[in-house]
Copies of this chain bind each other. A is one copy, B any other.
Amino acid sequence: MGVTIKDIAKSAGVSYSTVSKALRDSPLVKEPTKKKILEIANQLGYRPNAAARSLVSKRSHTIGVVWPTIERVTHSALITGLNKQLEKHSYTTLISINEMKSAIDTFNRYQVDAIVAFDEKNSTSDVSGSTVPIVTYGIAGRSSFPTVDVQRKQAIMKAVNYLLSMGHQKISYIGDLEDDHLQKEKVNGFIEAIQKAEDPSACPVISVSDLEQYNGYMAMRKLLEHPNRPTAIISGSHDLSHGCMQAIKEHSLTVPNDFSLISYDNIPATEAFEVPLSTTGVPLEIITEQLAAALIALIQEEDIQEAIYLKPELNITPSCRQLNEGAVNEED
C-alpha cells in the first residue's frame, strides 16, 4: 500500500508527529527539518490518506455535486465553473450521476463537507436526513434546502422589455419544453412581459422537444416561414440560439438586420459567434461564485438564507438593433 507518515518519519529519523506537522507547514517545526521531511515525502511519493485525515479532522475538504442525468452545454459549463471556483477555495469536487437519493447517501458516507444538487423534476423532494448540508440550484421554494435561484422569469422579462423599448412589437420566444419547470419559468416570464406589446397574439411561443442546437434550427425555420415574421427572437438556451443563427444565415438573412436576437444563458461561449450574442441571465461566473460562497458559508455553519436570488443581467451586443417604425415592411 501507500507511503504513510510513519515511513517518512523512519526515513527522516524523526517522530511521525513531527512529520505530520512539517507536512502541514506548521511553524512548530524548524526550517531545515521541515525541508528535509518534505524532500523525503516527495521522493517517496507520499500522498495523504484522505480517509484518515477526514476521520480525525471531521472535514474532507470535498464538495459533492449531484449531476442531473440530462446533458446540456450549460450544465457542463456550470459544473466546470463551479469546479474551478471551489478549487480556488482549495476544495475538491466530486460528482455523482446516481439518482439524487442515493447520490446524497454516498456523499454522506463519504462525509463530504457540502452537497450541491441540481433541482430537476422535483427530485429533491424525497431527500431525508442528510447530515451534510445541501444547496440546490433551481427555483426557490421548491425544495426544503437553501436554493440559489437565477430568476429565470425576470431574465426573460428583461429581454422582452428591452426589445419592446427598441421598438420591436413582433417578438417570438423559442424554447418551451414540456415537463420542465425551469423552462416553464422562462416561458411564463415571456408571456407576462409580452402583454405590454401592441398585439401579444402576434408573439408566438415556439415549443421544442429539446434544448439543443438542432431544435433551435428547426424552430427558427418555422418562424422564417411564418406569414407574419417576428422582428426579434428570444431563445431559451445557448444551443437553441446557435441553431437559430444557423437557420437565419442559411436564408441569407442576418442578425441584427433582419432579426434582433437575445439568448438566455449568460455564458462566455456566446462571445464566440460571428455576431456576438446578446444574452440575458445571470453570468455564469456569478452563479458559480455564489454557489461556491453559499457552500462555504454552509460549511462554516453560518446561517444562510433559504433563497439566494441572483440578479439576471441583460448583456446587449450588436445582435440587437433599434427598429425604426415602419421600416420593417419596407425591407421585406
Measuring CB to CB, which residues of chain A are less than 8 angstroms from any residue of chain B?
1-2, 45, 47-52, 54-55, 58, 60, 67, 69, 71, 73, 76, 79-80, 83, 87, 92-98, 105-106, 108-111, 129, 131, 212-214, 217, 242-243, 246
Contact partners of A110 in chain B: CB under 8 A = 50-51, 94, 110
Q: Are A95 and B97 within 8 A (Cβ)?
A: yes
A304 to chain B, nearest CB (A): 20
Q: 8 A-B Cβ contacts within 8 A?
A: A50-B51, A50-B109, A51-B60, A51-B111, A83-B98, A94-B110, A95-B95, A95-B97
Contact partners of A54 in chain B: CB under 8 A = 51
A80-B69, A98-B93, A131-B47 known; A246+B52 contact, CB < 8 A: no
**Number of copies of this chain in the oligomer?**
2
Give me the 7 closest cross-chain CB pairs, A-B, nearest first: A95-B95, A50-B109, A51-B51, A51-B55, A213-B214, A45-B129, A50-B110
Q: Are A51 and B52 within 8 A (Cβ)?
A: yes
A45-B129, A110-B50 known; A214+B80 contact, CB < 8 A: no
**How far, in whole Å, are A111 and B54 apart by their CA atoms in the complex?**
12
Q: Are A55 and B47 within 8 A (Cβ)?
A: no
**How far, in whole Å, are A122 and B151 apart by their CA atoms in the complex?**
41
Contact partners of A109 in chain B: CB under 8 A = 47-50
A51-B52, A93-B98, A131-B2 known; A76+B83 contact, CB < 8 A: no
**How far, in whole Å, are A95 and B95 apart by their CA atoms in the complex?**
5
Q: Are A58 and B1 within 8 A (Cβ)?
A: yes
Query: Per a CB cutoff under 8 Å, which of B69, B94, B111 touches A49?
Result: B111
Query: Per a CB cutoff under 8 Å, which of B80, B83, B87, B111 touches A50?
Result: B111
Q: Are A55 and B55 within 8 A (Cβ)?
A: yes
A1-B131, A2-B131, A110-B50 known; A97+B71 contact, CB < 8 A: no
**How far, in whole Å, are A79 and B129 apart by their CA atoms in the complex?**
28
**How far, in whole Å, are A58 and B45 apart by their CA atoms in the complex?**
19
**How far, in whole Å, are A83 and B66 apart by their CA atoms in the complex?**
14
**How far, in whole Å, are A243 and B218 apart by their CA atoms in the complex?**
12
Q: Are A96 and B95 within 8 A (Cβ)?
A: yes
**How far, in whole Å, are A69 and B47 apart by their CA atoms in the complex?**
25
